[in-house]
Chain A
């Protein structure tokens, strides 16, 4: 019963808004989330839950798949380090409010030591420990040796390496040019641009949240919800034919999910106006093109003119930085928007020009 419920809400249609809401709660109440008490109880409560999950034969089949074990370990690390950074930030924010300054700025933490031997020894031990761990790992979990590659056959499901599964999940909602080239390119360019856009000097060398609230929230949303969450979905919830499978579901080859996706132009002309699709390509896709231009071109200007936060950002960043930031932010948010549109309206493409290999 409970398992059925979990299977149901693990579907991205539900789990994505839930994850976004949990993320909002985590940011809103970061002091409670970052407290030692919360961390302790979360750890204590997670143990029976994890044991209950592992007791399920279908779940353990997926989690013990050799490729998936390291991902499970990494997810535990992501959870821990997210908690740890917010814990440190909450601690420092309380101190800054009391006028004490961050912990990192206290005299005993300002003491300097030599990198040799202090750092180099630590690194040496870390290298040895990692090597030993990997050797043991390689002995326990065998790398699968499969048949020779065949260009006319693909494994089912065909999965990318785990770190690309977020991208692969993204590709379900976008044209390969967008999700495979433009968006990953903008992710890299945007990450490179961060130090040039965000010139806020606060937060250098110490943990904090209040001093750089929006930078932390927008980065963590992109990282935790749009990257890590999508990797979780891609690794654990996508089975044969890239169909969704709940955590307690058996990956049956015969699961059928009826789906029928339509383009925005078909919605407009056939369903909305009840006429045939126009022959002229630009006219056919005009609504999608207008919406895209409005989304990319008008929202940044509107935000700057009409919203208080936009005015504040514009004042702090200057016009060039502001528009670059808004372009990157709007592009990032196009992913959740497109996902939600696909789930709610089975929308395939907003602009569909397969004749020009251009689909948005």
Chain B
């Protein structure tokens, strides 16, 4: 008869197993969290969501492309209203170009066309361009807030935050 020397009894085995399992799960969870974090960029080159767009007197009547490349916004002044128009096509998210001779925005991807007001009239775009919240700061500068959008088909363009009276 061999003297089987048990170095580990059942209770100890389960306590080791528990510790090991918790550590394994924690390591997996940490790895998963790192992988999730890795899927987000370290540096974000997206345009800022809020910016100052000068004073209302800076704008002549019509479409102003000053903030288009940096922030993706057209400042459009017409009929006494100044609005911040998104430059993202409502069809599939391309960037339309402003054609001053024809007074329209034209998308290079599928040919959607918009009037200066942002209303869609040609091509496949299903709805008008979106407008962003504009507000006047105490120092007289315009603040454009891209986190708040106003959609014409939902009747939001009449919202007092959607335009500035100039």
Contacts and interface: CB of A to CB of B under 8 A. Distances in A.
Given A242-B111, A355-B153, A150 B69 contact: yes
Interface residues of B, number: 33
Nearest to A259: B122
A242 B126 contact: no
Contacts of B124: 171-175, 348
Given A171-B91, A261-B121, A241 B47 contact: no
Interface stretch (B27-35, B100-108, B133-141): B100-108
Contacts of A175: 91, 124, 126
A254 B123 CA distance: 17
Q: What is the predominant secondary structure among interface residues of chain B facing chain A?
A: loop
Interface residues of A, number: 33
A268 to B, nearest CB: 18
Given A172-B123, A260-B122, A158 B109 contact: yes
A259 B113 contact: yes
A307 interface: no
A99 interface: no
Interface in A332-360: 348-349, 352, 354-355, 357, 359
B154 interface: yes
B126 A349 contact: yes
Nearest to B73: A152
Interface of A: 150-158, 168, 171-176, 180, 240-243, 254, 256, 259-261, 348-349, 352, 354-355, 357, 359
Contacts of B153: 354-355
B144 to A, nearest CB: 14
B46 interface: yes
Per DSSP, chain A at the interface is loop
A154 B108 contact: yes
A352 B113 CA distance: 17
Given A172-B124, A359-B126, 14 more contacts: A151-B72, A152-B68, A152-B69, A153-B69, A154-B97, A154-B108, A154-B109, A158-B94, A168-B110, A171-B124, A174-B124, A242-B123, A354-B126, A355-B153
3 A-B pairs with the lowest CB-CB distances in the bound complex, closest first? A242-B111, A354-B127, A156-B108
A176 B139 CA distance: 43
B95 interface: yes
A352 B126 CA distance: 7
Given A158-B94, A174-B124, A175-B126, A256 B102 contact: yes
B110 A152 contact: no
Contacts of A261: 121-123
A254 B101 contact: yes
